[in-house]
Amino acid sequence: MKRFVSLALSAAMLASVCGCSSTASSGSPSSSASPANPLSSSTQSGANTPSDVPASEFKQENPAVFVVRGISNKESKTDNSLVKEEIEKRSGIRFDTIVVPESNYNEKVNALIASSETMDYINITPGPVAGNWAKMFEKKAIAPLDDALEKYAPDLMAMIPEDAWLSCRNAEGVTYAVPRHELFPKGHTPMIRDDWYEELGMPAPKTLAELETFFEKVKTTDLNGNGVADEIPYIPAYDSYITAFRPYFCGFSGDHYLDTDGTVKPWYMHENVYDMLLKGQEWYAKGYMYPEYLTLTYEQLVDLASADRVASFTGWYNDGIRGSKVTRDNNPNSRSHWLPIANLTDAPSGDSAWRQNPDYMAELVLSVTSKETEAATRLLNWMFADNENYMLVTYGMEGKHWEYSDDKKSFVYLPGADDGYQAHYQMLDWFDYSRYTPPLIDSEDFVKFEMSEARRHINEDVVCAPAWDYYIPYSMTGTPAEMLTNDAETLINEAVSKVIYGQYTQADWQKAVEQAWETDGKIRSQVWTEQYAPYAK
């Protein structure tokens, strides 16, 4: 795929939307809904409720305003204005964007909210609480969406499956966000050099013991043929050992687990965590785990893969593919190749699924300062109503940025397309190749073709699962946990590293866990449990 598609895969995708109504609206979520606990809200506010105007009588006074994040220079592409004019011409709806740099997105958006800036739809993808609409609910900055979506977005509502709304509604079913659809949510699947285990005469590892046998043989065999024992059995990129193997050892993805008594607890309280850390300690001591993994950068990982040294890694699925291209370019005889590690069949937790991002996540919220809710919602609906509209807002203008392939079942990018337009006005990240025309994959382009093949194997060959409670909009505001710092998280992270490095005993680890629980975890657990309860009914 071209740069846009690969870009969308390596980041976590983004966009924004707009809302509008023929009548100006102000106001906030109902006062009966406590801002401290949006999960208990069951009353919709009349604020921003659009009047029931037929499409034939639709009038727009102001441009619909979308708050979007500036990322990868999409907002500066040379043909953005041309695409915008074409969208407005075809849809009959005028719109503007407020572009906010991703580097300080939350701060800038909060400033817009504080200044009562006129906005319609706001993107909530960026930041440490990405997709958590409750954060803006607490500020009384957003309004319910059910009325606007029902009246002005029938095609959008028909497109979005019911389970996609889980992360967008409170426990009573009131909608506060529009969901995005990930292009590839399974990108955290562990990857392995299948050409190396074939060279060793091994089948694909299907148990932890078989994976460890592979690690040992990699460590003791000159698989890259350079005469130096420099092969690296396993790199947990971005400190991903815990997140990757937590489902295998503990049976859950994410930072929380549900105890047998219905209590939501921090991950470090699970009884199998220390066994997981001991296994990491063993791999580290035997030289299976890259010793500098905690400080490893993406560029360094690519360099190591390019030097034909890496046998397996956890992190993002395609991190080794670019390195394999370099290896193959330097050595025409190289078969450097990556496949997903199979789900291990001997998981002590009984759950061998690898972790994944949710397929759907809340992305767009409606500002209480919206003056064009109807126009913005109609425009959002128009963008996804048919393939031609979608292609325009996502990839640009046919004949200028892209064209259909001969069989009309895919499309190809035209020269210079990346510089001209790159989904700046897509507004809602919704990638569905079963619904809209997909890009043609050029088999001669090693990186793009291998990425597509890796995704295909991951989709077909392994099971992945998101955090079990990904759709709960946990909020600490107005709770006993509101003033807590991240000291306990820091304490646990340090203890994890020290156990793996062999510097902490089980007693040391247990002491750190008890301290984290007493000063922080117990309080957070109480809040999480209370906020999860309405969704569990």
Residue 475: per-residue pLDDT:
92
- 119 and 20 in a common domain: yes
> How many distinct structural domains can be found in the chain?
3
**Cα(332)–Cα(329) distance, integer angstroms:** 6
β partners of residue 95: 64
- 350 and 368 in a common domain: no
- 216 and 351 in a common domain: yes
Q: Is residue 34 part of a domain?
A: no
- DSSP class of residue 409? S
Range of the domain at 264: 191-355+450-465
Residue 56: per-residue pLDDT:
60
Which of 106, 125, 133, 148 lies closest to 426 in space, CA to CA?
125
Q: Is residue 478 part of a domain?
A: no
- 225 and 168 in a common domain: no
- DSSP class of residue 518? I
Q: Is residue 287 part of a domain?
A: yes
- 456 and 351 in a common domain: yes
The token pair that represents 435 in the structure block: 């619904």
- 177 and 93 in a common domain: yes
Q: Is residue 480 part of a domain?
A: no
Which of 483, 458, 490, 450 lies closest to 355 in space, CA to CA?
458
Pairing of strands 191-193, 312-314: antiparallel
- pLDDT tens over the chain, length 537 residues: 333 333 333 333 333 333 333 333 333 333 333 333 444 443 333 333 333 445 667 889 999 999 999 988 999 999 999 999 999 999 999 999 999 998 889 999 999 999 999 999 999 998 777 899 999 999 999 999 999 999 999 999 999 999 999 999 999 999 999 999 988 999 999 999 999 999 999 999 999 999 999 999 999 999 999 999 999 999 999 889 999 999 999 999 999 999 999 999 999 999 999 999 999 999 999 999 999 999 999 999 999 999 999 999 999 999 999 999 999 999 888 999 999 999 999 999 888 899 999 999 999 999 999 999 999 999 999 999 999 999 999 999 999 999 999 988 999 999 999 999 999 999 999 999 999 999 999 899 999 999 999 999 999 999 999 999 999 999 999 999 999 999 999 999 999 999 999 999 999 999 999 999 999 999 999 999 999 999 997
**Cα(313)–Cα(239) distance, integer angstroms:** 11
DSSP E strands in 385-506: the ranges are 402-404, 411-413, 464-465
Residue 195: per-residue pLDDT:
97
Residue 54: per-residue pLDDT:
59
| DSSP character string of 243-276 | HHHHHHHHS--SSEEE-TTS-EEEGGGSTTHHHH
Q: What is the CATH number of the domain that holds 386?
A: 3.40.190.10
- 212 and 165 in a common domain: no
**Cα(352)–Cα(347) distance, integer angstroms:** 6
Q: Is residue 375 part of a domain?
A: yes
**Cα(103)–Cα(182) distance, integer angstroms:** 21
- 340 and 461 in a common domain: yes
- 236 and 168 in a common domain: no
Q: Is residue 152 part of a domain?
A: yes
- DSSP class of residue 61? S
- 154 and 224 in a common domain: no
Angle (CA) 109-115-118 rounded to 5° is 80
DSSP helix/strand/coil, 407: coil
CB 117 within 8 A of CB 369: yes
- 164 and 272 in a common domain: no
Q: Is residue 401 part of a domain?
A: no
Q: Is residue 407 part of a domain?
A: no
Query: Which residue stretches of 331-411 are H helix?
Result: 373-383, 387-395
Residue 6: per-residue pLDDT:
34
β partners of residue 97: 66
- 341 and 365 in a common domain: no
